Amino acid sequence: MLACLKLDMFVPLTAMLMRAPGKIRQLVRTAERRYDLPEVFVRGLLEDLGQATAPISVGPPAQPTPLARLYLEGGEVALEDQKRLIAEGIKGSATPERADRLYPGDIEQFLACDGLGLAFGAAGVLLALAEAGIERVPEHEDWLLRRTAEVDGLGAGFYTGAHGIAYTLDRLGRHEDALKVMERIGTATPATAAEGFGLFRGLAGEGLNLLHFARRTGDRDFGEAALRAAEPIASALSEGSQGLDLARAGLLHGWSGACLLFLQLYETTGEVMMANFAKQALERDLDKCVVTKNGTFEVSDDWRTLPYLEFGSVGVGIALEQ
């Protein structure tokens, strides 16, 4: 339908209208505000889309709150109110009675981290809420702690395993609980070669978290373990190993995460070679970047370029800025 295509050019979310026709007005008014669309064009969209859709409901719809109604009608809602409403929705979706996950989310939480990790599981949600200044829910934090203790074979990765959980608990102020998780991980065995050098689940993420705990606790064992985590990465850089150049450049899976680790080690130890390793690691990711036709600097990924955080030049840029 032409009206739907028109709207999708401005707000590419029209697929939801099949299930939620009531959002027509919200999407149209959003496009109007953002792109200063003429009133005659907006009125035509509302009329055409209103005629082409019919409400679909299996029961009486829930009534929107006053703030939600204001937003749906195109009004301005204060940022703090938006944040509070989002947080209420997240908290309201929690299912602490379940063992497999606390919050609904990406299917990866069932495949990669038993519903617990920083990237896909409860730890990431709890950390985001806390960093946003949202009132904490101790019951949800207890769920994370309890399930972490119960799960066998939990990986160590920062974004997928115990290192990220320990960091989250520490940021939440549950320092003793965080240290118990760190004790479970141990400091003797760094990530395996299969887990790679990256920040996501490999040596860079492991090393950065060990440095965090070394600084917070003053425990030299954590600092020494961080140095051990960095050794295989330093060896690969010194030997010119190209094995991990098959990985996509970026903050979480590329060499930019290793760059951050070496920068932190340089700040901690003052050893110039750490700064040199940071430079070498960053150069590996920069070598995979190209200048696009639009003049932007992005990671080349065969048939496309990537500006993103996880895979892409935004993540490389964060390391470069540091």
Q: What's the alpha-carbon Rg for the chain, to the nearest Å?
A: 24
State how far Cα 116 lies from the chain centre: 14
DSSP three-state, residue 241:
coil
- Helix/strand number for the chain, H first, E second: 15, 3
User: pLDDT tens for residues 187-200?
Assistant: 765 655 567 899 99
Contact criterion met (CB below 8 Å) for 54 and 21: yes
User: pLDDT tens for residues 136-160?
Assistant: 999 999 999 999 999 988 889 999 9
Q: Is the pLDDT of residue 54 over 60?
A: no
**Distance set, CA 73 to CA 18, 67, 76, 129, 137 (Å):** 20, 10, 9, 27, 32
Max CA distance (Å), the chain: 69
User: Residue 58 — very low, low, confident or very high, per pLDDT cuts 50/70/90?
Assistant: very low
Runs of H (alpha helix) within 53-114: 66-72, 79-92, 108-112
User: pTM of the full predicted structure?
Assistant: 0.81
Q: Is the pLDDT of residue 213 over 80?
A: yes
d(CA 152, CA 13): 41
User: pLDDT tens for residues 88-104?
Assistant: 999 999 999 999 999 99
User: Residue 233 — very low, low, confident or very high, per pLDDT cuts 50/70/90?
Assistant: very high
d(CA 45, CA 24): 9
User: Residue 26 — very low, low, confident or very high, per pLDDT cuts 50/70/90?
Assistant: confident
Q: What is the pLDDT of residue 120?
A: 95
